[in-house]
A and B are shown apart, each in its own frame.
Chain A
Amino acid sequence: MSEKVLSIDKTTVQMLDKAKKDGVETAWDRKEILKASCGFGLAGVCCRNCTMGPCRVSPVPGKGAERGICGATADVIVSRNFARMVAAGAAAHADHGRSIVLELLHTSPDGAIKVKDEKKLKKVASRFGIETEGKDVYDIAHELAQAGLNDFGRQYGSITLPPTVPAKRKETWEKLGIVPRGFDREVVAIMHSTHVGCMADAEEMLRMSMRCALADGWLGSYMATELSDIMFGTPHSRPTEASLGVLEDNQVNIVLHGHEPSLSEMIVQAAEMPEMIELAKSQGADGINLCGMCCTANEATMRHGVKLAGNFMQQELAVITGAVEALVVDVQCIMPALAKLATNYHTKFITTSPKAHITGSTHIEMDEEKPLETAVGIVKEAIMNFKNRDKSKVVIPNVKTKAEVGYSTEEILNKLDGVVNSQIGPMQSAKPLADVIVAGVIRGAAGVVGCNNPKTVHDEGHLEVIKGLIKNDIIVVVTGCAAQAAAKAGLLTKEAKELCGPGLKKVCELVDIPPVLHMGSCVDISRILELVGTTANHLGVDISDLPVVGIAPEYMSEKAISIGTYVVSSGIDTWLGVVPPVTGGPAVVDFLTNKIEEWVGAKFFVEPDPHKTVEQIVERINEKRKKIGI
């Protein structure tokens, strides 16, 4: 029997082999064990919102049960399920954003967390109407945090939208009534309206989802990014390495996994302490090797060049190498399977957040008052675990790839300054980017984002889409697990320009950048919004006029659903490589892939084939170019 290809990443295949030998199970095995998914769930026509149910209605109109016990139709059920996915995704980002805002509230000049980027602090503060002239930096910081918190819990009016939102876009949102009020309120509103006997109109349900998602993109994620930069520094381009091969043979390997940068920042600081390095040496190691997974990795690599061990589907594989002393996690996308898996190796699986306890883990809670001390404690645990490593069980794949990371919006503008003629100017503007797009030297821009999903061949969707796009002179920015796929494949290097079409290649040479720019973690998709909004404003058009697209080739999380929804609502066409559970609701499908365009000038495309995805994108981008005469 020929084995199905699970991943195009060599280290993954190698580690899956080892998993088999070691007799441990991975997500891929569990997917097998679960057999075919339930067709009702897949189509989104199963409802368990009250105890009269669960109800499952027929995904085929006119056949079988058409309504749930309460009378909810397939479309209503699908739209409610979809809305709850959006709410959950948005809530994850909201809570992430909230804890970052709270950290800013607690910054102090002699605390572990300080204000690192004053310029950005002042910029964001003035956006919130906070006076900055002659004021103490920390007073500004605290005032800003307060303003941010207000928007999270706002009960009246609407959130403070950044000036990056083009006027026309704002008008559209206002007309549709989808300018978010408070962030938490939008999540609560969805939970309310999806309750039995409440909203029973698919289109209205989706409108609410759009409003909630916008609060994610333009407030929750936005604040998380902006304030993380303020406290931990705005990323600048720097080199790093990627792939499971970044684990070191004779070092204490600590893998950071999860999402919030505060944990990783503290651990980076702790691991650099001379006494920690000494301690590691006293245990027979050559040093401490910090690596990252998922979005925490992205945060730490953007700011410190921390190496990228892998993406979502590889988290178990890191443990399976047998070389990880500690797998330190906080929140989101952490497979609970890690707890059991870790017992097969010496790896300490350490949870740190009260928001994500995992049975079977070692819980060392991050003490908000003493974050650095907590981090030191965690690093010590890892070091003291080094002696327990069973060398006979260690296999570290012999693969690592160079990558360049750190492309914040600010860094991109800095790079663009390099091609601005000082006699013409202006500096620090999106004009050069807008110019090459208008001229047609590059055809458009694409954000490739999102997760891994065992329904697709691991990393294949990401890489095929990215390669196809850059070949067609479409510049690509990446975040999340897509970014790591790109990093591992060597696409985040300047040499990757050889894979580009002639225009993009030229631009990479002129600006001295890779064709694929790592813009950070999932919340950093707000950076993409910022860049696109800035470009639209520069050209005096709406975001939906620009030849810009978003793609989530292998997404899996509810966060990705929220992201996709706010990206479309912001006027950017979005391609999904995995079919979302909406196919049982014809009106919902029609809305998301068709009618929504009348509302916001963009829509969803669902296309599991990466090559077809590229074709569709090129076609759509050319259509948009034609429409605005470029």
Chain B
Amino acid sequence: MNLFQTIFTGSKQALAAAEGIVKQAVDEKGRDCKVAFPDTAYSLPTFYAATGKKVTTVAELEAALDVVRSLIVEEEMLDKALNAGLATAVAAELVEAAKYVLSDAPYAAPCAGFISDPIIRSLGVPLVTGDIPGVAVVLGECPDAETAAKVIKDYQSKGLLTFLVGKVIDQAVEANVKMGLELRVIPLGYDVTSVIHVVTVAIRAALIFGAIKPGNLADLLQYTSERVPAFVNAFGPLSELVVSAGAGAIALGFPVVTDQTVTEVPTLLLTQKDYDKVVKTSLEARKIKIKITEIPIPVAFAAAFEGERIRKND
């Protein structure tokens, strides 16, 4: 299947998934039930930023599916493919919102799920100063825990903020990677759709720090691609859904580096099979220059460790 068709297929799957869970929300909670992510003034941030509309009830959640549908135009042109990617992002957000409708606490440790506004505000300054030189989204499953840890710790040592999605979370736990906001490694969730919680970080950064007007999609995409130094590492077999989510990332200006053989697109969608080179490949793709020189001391040294407490048994 060609790349664009893969993306369209993934987007349609995302739509179907969203339709399914939204229906469940309607059935179980009714259309009047409130919809909200915790601690945010931006409703469903992706949807809000893209359309300027807030979603407050399950009925509105259901109506929002139309936006996803309208974004999927199966014509083999780049803009249509990127829009389909955005459709997947919006669909993912609807799925995640529905999870918060269906359960009071859909996420449990170590997964963070939705990231609150206060946290984003706290990240704003170090992002602007370059103290956080970039945002890495590590998604999927590495061949083994050791590889996963190596990549994540490398980002950590360089001061990047790393979000984990999928099995890689377990691999990080297994390899004893220290996680937490202060350590700049944040596990989001096991479902692919939980990747939307990092997307909304970028989107809210645009709304908060970039003063982008909700509904102004073009400005939003320009801001994220110019100002939010994020990128995606997708490890392990890629489903159509993941590829189409990747197209969403690319629409936001975030390159995708994968260890799988894919139809590459220069600077945007790259295959790097050598795990030792994944970090460098990604930083170069996102044009991230590390400000601090790495100090050759045995433990990884960087701002990410500032908040670390030395526990007794360490």
Contact = CB atoms under 8 A, between A and B. Distances in A.
Interface of A: 416, 419-424, 432, 435-436, 438-441, 443, 473, 501-503, 506, 510-511, 622, 625, 629-630
Query: Which residue, B77, B78, B280, has most C-beta atoms of chain A within 10 A?
Result: B78
Contacts of A501: 77-79
19 contacts: A416-B266, A420-B266, A421-B267, A421-B285, A423-B277, A424-B271, A424-B272, A432-B266, A435-B265, A436-B266, A438-B263, A443-B76, A473-B77, A501-B79, A502-B77, A502-B79, A503-B77, A503-B78, A510-B266
B173 interface: no
B2 A440 contact: yes
Contact of B270 (A421, A510, A629): A421
Contacts of B79: 501-503
B281 A436 contact: no
B284 to A, nearest CB: 5
Interface string B255-299: 000000001111101111000010011001100000000000000
A440 B266 contact: no
Contact of A440 (B4, B267, B271, B281): B4
A429 to B, nearest CB: 11
B302 interface: no
B300 interface: no
Given A424-B271, A424-B272, A502-B78, A436 B277 contact: no
B246 to A, nearest CB: 12
B3 interface: yes
Given A506-B78, A629-B2, 15 more contacts: A420-B266, A421-B266, A421-B284, A422-B284, A423-B284, A439-B3, A439-B4, A439-B265, A440-B4, A440-B78, A473-B78, A503-B78, A511-B266, A625-B2, A630-B2
A441 B281 contact: no
A629 B285 CA distance: 28
A460 B267 CA distance: 36
Interface residues of B, number: 24
Contact of B263 (A416, A423, A439, A502): A439
Contacts of A440: 2-4, 76, 78, 81
Nearest to B264: A435
A323 B1 CA distance: 60
Nearest to B81: A440
B281 A421 contact: yes
A439 B263 CA distance: 6
Contacts of B270: 421, 424
Nearest to A422: B284
Q: Which 3 A-B pairs have the closest CB atoms?
A: A503-B78, A502-B79, A419-B266
A432 B264 CA distance: 8
A584 B270 CA distance: 54
Nearest to A505: B78
Interface in B2-48: 2-4
Contacts of A503: 77-79
B2 A441 contact: no
A630 B285 CA distance: 25
A436 B269 CA distance: 10
A625 B270 CA distance: 22
Nearest to A435: B264
A471 to B, nearest CB: 11
Contacts of B272: 421, 423-424
Contacts of B78: 440-441, 473, 501-503, 506
Contacts of A438: 3, 263
Contacts of A511: 266
Given A436-B266, A502-B78, A424 B281 contact: yes
Contacts of A432: 266
A423 B271 CA distance: 10
Contacts of B82: 502
Query: Which residue, A416, A424, A630, has most C-beta atoms of chain B within 10 A?
Result: A424
A625 B76 CA distance: 11
B217 to A, nearest CB: 14
Contacts of A435: 263-266
Contacts of B285: 421
A625 B77 CA distance: 13
A438 B266 CA distance: 11
Contact of B265 (A420, A423, A441, A622): A441
A439 B281 contact: no
B239 to A, nearest CB: 18
Contact of A510 (B4, B77, B267, B269): B267
B231 to A, nearest CB: 12
A622 B264 CA distance: 19
Nearest to B250: A506
Nearest to A433: B266
B65 to A, nearest CB: 25
A397 to B, nearest CB: 38
